Amino acid sequence: MGSLRNSTVRERQEVGQAMRAHMVLLSDRGRPPSEIADLHAVSHPTVYKWIDRFDEEGPSGLYDREREGRPRELGKEARKEIERLLEGNPTEEGQNATRWTAPRIAEHLEREPGIDVHEDTVRSALKQMQYS
């Protein structure tokens, strides 16, 4: 079985929907929310949220909704910029440092191409791109 970390966004969404449907099914079969939460390693409020949303909206309520904020994954432009940065020295980009770190890269991406991204997203992208 593959890792969710290496899966596509669509695959992760489908896994989330299946988990939510399973929570609803277990609840319908009389399982207490505390047991469902423990089984799926989520909080009790999360279990109630998905059960309530299913009750209000039916199966379509289990789908992911659009979210505000920073993207969780980097696009091609950001990845190309990261590769360009890693080929050079941070001092060439005005950094007072000898190596690139995820926070420095995130700061550079926001400043130069104007891509607002969290350092954890950069860290994940670096790992996917096989940089350490």
Across 39-53, 68-82, 110-124, the highest mean pLDDT is recorded for: 39-53
Q: What percent of the chain has pLDDT over 90?
A: 33
Answer whether residue 2 shows pLDDT above 60: no
Mean pLDDT highest for which of 21-35, 92-106, 116-130? 21-35
Query: In this structure, which topology does domain 9-62 adopt according to CATH?
Result: Arc Repressor Mutant, subunit A (1.10.10)
**Does pLDDT of 70 surpass 60?**
no
Q: What is the pLDDT of residue 1?
A: 47
Q: Which residue has the higher pLDDT, 67 or 74?
A: 74
Read off the tokens for 77. Answer: 């432009």
| pLDDT at 121 (0 to 100) | 86
Burial tier of 130 (Cβ tally within 10 Å: 0-12, 13-18, 19+): exposed
Averaged pLDDT for residues 39-60 = 92
The C-alpha R_g of the chain, in whole angstroms, comes to 20
Whether residue 10 has pLDDT greater than 80: no
Euclidean distance between CA atoms 99 and 104, whole angstroms: 9
Run of H or E residues at 11: helix 9-28
What does the domain layout of the chain look like in residue ranges? Answer: 9-62, 76-128
DSSP output for 52-101: HHHHHHGGGGGS-----SS-SS--HHHHHHHHHHHHS-GGGGT-SSSS--
**CA gap 13, 26 in Å, rounded:** 20
